[in-house]
Every structure is written in structure tokens, then in C-alpha cells.
Structure 1
Amino acid sequence: MSQNKLSKLAASVIYVKEENHLMEVDDQVELFVKAGDDGESYGGCPKSQQIFMVLLIKAEQSSLNVRVTTVNVNKQRAHFGRLPALVHKDQVITDPDEMLDYIDRNWELPDLDIEQTRARHVTLEIFSKFSFFIKQVSHGPDKMIAELYRLNEYLLENEHKYLCSDNLSHLDCLVLPKLQHIRVASKAFKSFEIPDKMKGVWCYLRAAYDNTIFRQTCPSDQQIIAHWASKPELPPLQDNVKLHYACMPPKYSFDVPL
């Protein structure tokens, strides 16, 4: 799909970094993401947040101009194959791994590919175990909790603010949005909360909540819940939980029990 057609189908521009009409086209990137359940606001896709975070980190050390636009897929489903979609010059990329590779090749700094084998190993299965739990493939949270404890032990031994260093890396941009989904969706659908005694996990989340880029790119609790509520394999959200979130303005769970 062409960039012009994507732009015509857009619902709402939600972020522009220092837009400058005199800027070279090489420095202009647009990220199209799935809109929330209201058809306009920023939706709860963790992959979209991952790409959004990477773009903003790159923009801090370059002249990269980032524009993020939501798309109402309920109205335009026939026109879109996959979201998020990255548009740069005449390129339209819809595969997330290809997007990350493309961003790294075109804006090399800062280098986010900080390899830490153990960090990658202890985060590998957390989200899949969460998915099994929330979709009721697993009968309880034990497997997810075991993976969270593995991460917690690593973080307690880790000397850095984030998984691999004191700066956000590609691995953090992958893991942190998923941890936020685990926190918010597990509470809403399963009345499960990350145990307070997991000090390593909570310190890691606090570092994320203190980071402007994470806060700017994080969807509201309501949109995270809507993201999971739209999946047919999930049990329906209880009426009292629906009412609780519907009656409040957009909420962001950025508090920590520390």
C-alpha cells in the first residue's frame, strides 16, 4: 500500500516530534498503529509500543522526525494487511522484525543491540506463559510466576538500571511493554497481581515508569484491557471490572509497591 493511501485512511495523529516542514524527507518516518476501542486513541498493541519506543530513542540522538498515527481497523480492515506499519520515503514495512532492522540500518545511533545472553534467556518465556494463563490454556498462574521469579532473580543480581545496561536496549523495548500487559491484563481478567516481594521486577518497572520514552509510548490501562478483551479465546471481562474502568479517565498503572 502506498504512503498516500495510508495517510488517507488514518484516524488520528497522536504524536509528532518537532515537525519541521523544511526537514529532509530522509529524516521523516511515520508509524501507523491500530487505534483503540474508540477508533481514534492509541491502542494497546505491545508490538506498536516496542517500535514507538525504538523510534523515540533513535530520535533523541538524531534529526529523525517521528509521526505516529492511529488507524481504525474496524472501518478500514479491508485496506490493511498488518499493523503496525512503518513508512519512510517510498518504503512501507509491516513486518516488525524488518522494521527494527530497517530503523537500525538507517539510524545507527544509539546502538540498541546490546547482547546479554542471560537477560534474553530469562525473559524468553514470560509472555507465552502469561498468554497461556490469561487464555485459560493453563489452569493457574504457576508457570507464569515461575518465569517472573527467574526474571526477578536476574534483576536482583543485575547492576544496571535496565536489563543489559543503564540505557534502554532493544531487549528492554521488547520486554517492558509485555510486562505492562502482564501487570494490567492479569489484574483485570484474573485478579492476579505481580507479588510485592518481587523487588527486582518492581525496581525494573519503576525504572521504566521514570523514563519519559516509556511513559510517552505506554497505552492506557483501558486500551491494554480492550486489546485483550477483543480476543475471542479470552473469558469475558466481569461487569464490575468493565464498569470500574469505563467510569474513569484514561488510567496508567505507573505506581510501584516499593
Structure 2
Amino acid sequence: MTGKKGKRLAWLCLRMEKFTYEHIPENLVWIKHKKETVCTMAHGGVDNRTCERPLISATTQCSLFPNTEETAFKYPRHASHSLIEAGHDGENVGNCPFCQRLFMVLWLKGVKFTVTTVDMRKKPEELKDLAPGTNPPFLLYNGTLKTDFIKIEEFLEQTLAPPRYPHLSPLNKESFDVGADIFAKFSAFIKNSQGNAVHEKNLMREFKRLDNYLISPLPEEIDHNSRETMTISKRQFLDGDRLTLADCNLLPKLHVIRVAAKKYCDFDIPAQFTGVWRYLQNANEREEFKQTCPADIEIEKAYFTVANQRK
């Protein structure tokens, strides 16, 4: 993926060897190339080499782990390797909702994997011939390259399956469909003139549709034996009280919309959309979402040029 000179670009690569349930990626590591610091993650205790959770957006904490012999890490044979967007400083996580989507999937699956931010101006030699001209994210599995992020997600869902790994597919198809157009409406809104109310109305219509879905009880929430009729859903997420692939798709986009629309269009998600706000608040309490979000400044910089072309 290339661009203007000096620009750090976004990409995600998942490098996985063929494995069975007995040979699943076993390590999770955070690497910051610029300062060459390494943080090895595990579900065990916390010391100068291990952490209980991936510090995907916690840059200052990552910097506490120097690249010494004590913290040096050798990749195991069966490892998953993820390379993602370097932010504007060349080392932090940048703006890429599709990368975040796949990170959330892997985290929810409980897979341990390797995360690397890459400054594309200093692309490592071993990656120069990997999927040239292909936009991220992509996956290399057993010598086969997968470049469609939807296909990657499907592959992860099928490969990392029960009994060892949970299925993440939603029970209700509508949970996937309800947010399908919201990002496109946002893109049209932020790209067009400030005086054009049509695009804002279109975006508001999608938020209303999402809110209606979130406050409406799902079929499985309704107790047909109860004398009381449930009118407002109490679920936490799109398809119930667990995060699913539908949430992994929608939440990163909502985060981008919230940050960029506020910064450049002075647009806030209206308080009247109580279902949407409840949904976002519940998501922000989950590490799988909160810790995979890029910093607001990365989103703002990503939309700076587009937003400033508005007339």
C-alpha cells in the first residue's frame, strides 16, 4: 500500500501456519519498531516481560518494556502474526476500522497472537514482497494469501471453532444488517458541503434505524409465558449480551464517526438515541473494544484532508 511521500500507511497482516487444535498460536506480543521495544503478552502474571492484556492503545505502558536480552522474544513455530497501521508518529496504532474489526475477533476468540505496528516508510525487508499493491488487511495462511477482510473473518470463524474457541456469529441476521449503511452515510456527510442538510439527514436516519433495533426486544428476550410485555430491550449489544461478529464490524465504525464527525462537523450522536448510547457505553466497558481503539488524534488526522475540502 503506497501513498504520498512521508505518510505512514495502514495495514494488517495475519501470518498463520497450518495448525490443528493442538497447534494453535501460543504467544501474543506487542512490538514497536521505532524504539524497538518488545512486550510479550500472556494470560499469566505481570512482570517485566508479561502483561495480562494486549496494550494495543496503551503506548506509554508499552514503552516500559526495553528490548534487552531479558525481554527478547523468539516466535514459536505455530504463531499468528498481525501487522497493523502505524499512526502519525510511526509507531502507535493508526486509524483502520477493518484492522480493529479483526483484532476484536481474535481477542474474543481467545487466540494469542503477535501485533506489530509498521511505519511503511521503513517497511521491513521480509514484508516488501508480501502482497505488493494489496490494500490491508490481509492474511497469509499456509502459503495462501487472503486479501478480503470479510473472507479473513469467515476463515477465522470457521478455523477457530468450538470446542476450543467460541462461535461469534450472531443469532439474528438483522444484527448484521442494521448498521450496514451507516458508515457510507457518514462518509458522504463528512465529504460534502456544510450547508448540505441532505447528508446529515441520511446519517440521522441510519442512527434512528440502529436505535430502533437496539431498543426493540429480540425474539429470544421475549418470555411468552410472562404476563408482562417487554417493550424496551435490556440487552447490552446488537445480538444480546455477548459481543459477536456484528459488533466487531459496527463498533469500530461508530468510534470513527463519533470522533471525526464531532471534530470536523460539530456533530454529536443525539441524546435521544438512548439505545445507541447504551450500546456505546456497554462497549466501552469491554477490553476487546476499548483496548483496540486508535487514539482520537489518529482518526482526526486521517480525516483532516477530507474534512478541510468541505465548502
| TM-score range normalised by the length of the shorter chain | 0.7 to 0.9
Number of residue pairs aligned between Structure 1 and Structure 2: 226
What is the CA-CA distance between 1:104 and the residue it aligns to? 1.7
Cα shift readout 1:147-171 (whole Å, capped 9, x = no counterpart): 1011111111133211012111001
- Equivalent residue number for residue 77 of structure 2: 25
What is the CA-CA distance between 1:56 and the residue it aligns to? 0.6
Q: Confirm or deny that 1:116 pairs with 2:169.
A: no
Specify which structure has the higher proportion of helix.
1
Aligned residue among 109, 112, 115 for 1:68: 115
Q: TM-score, normalised by structure 2?
A: 0.64
- Equivalent residue number for residue 246 of structure 2: 171
Contact 1:209 1:215 in 2 (8 A): yes
Alpha-carbon distance between aligned partners in 1 of 2:294 and 2:268, rounded to the nearest angstrom? 19
Alpha-carbon distance between aligned partners in 2 of 1:46 and 1:14, rounded to the nearest angstrom? 24
Q: Confirm or deny that 1:50 pairs with 2:101.
A: yes
Cα shift readout 1:122-141 (whole Å, capped 9, x = no counterpart): 21111110010011178231
What is the CA-CA distance between 1:221 and the residue it aligns to? 0.6
Bigger Cα Rg: 2
| Residues 1-258 of structure 1: pairs in structure 2 closer than 5 A | 17-18=41-42, 25-26=77-78, 28-59=79-110, 64-76=111-123, 79=128, 80=132, 81-87=134-140, 90-108=143-161, 109-136=165-192, 139-140=196-197, 141-158=200-217, 159=233, 160-229=235-304, 232-235=305-308
Alpha-carbon distance between aligned partners in 2 of 1:14 and 1:41, rounded to the nearest angstrom? 13
- Equivalent residue number for residue 254 of structure 1: none
Cα shift readout 1:138-197 (whole Å, capped 9, x = no counterpart): 823111011101111111113321101211100100000101111100001111111112
Cα–Cα, structure 1 residues 14 and 154, in superposed 2: closer, same or farther, change >3 Å? farther
Structure 2: gaps of 5 or more residues? 1-12, 16-31, 44-49, 51-72, 218-232
SS at match of 1:132: helix
**Percent identity over the alignment?**
31
The letter for the 1-side match of 2:77 is V
Cα shift readout 1:105-138 (whole Å, capped 9, x = no counterpart): 2211210111423223321111110010011178
CA-based RMSD of the aligned residues comes to 3.2
Structure 1: gaps of 5 or more residues? 4-8, 238-258
Alpha-carbon distance between aligned partners in 1 of 2:287 and 2:117, rounded to the nearest angstrom? 21
Alpha-carbon distance between aligned partners in 1 of 2:38 and 2:178, rounded to the nearest angstrom? 34
Contact 1:85 1:94 in 2 (8 A): yes
Contact 2:86 2:118 in 1 (8 A): yes
SS at match of 2:252: helix
Q: TM-score, normalised by structure 1?
A: 0.76
What is the CA-CA distance between 1:82 and the residue it aligns to? 2.3
Contact 1:187 1:193 in 2 (8 A): yes
Alpha-carbon distance between aligned partners in 2 of 1:41 and 1:14, rounded to the nearest angstrom? 13
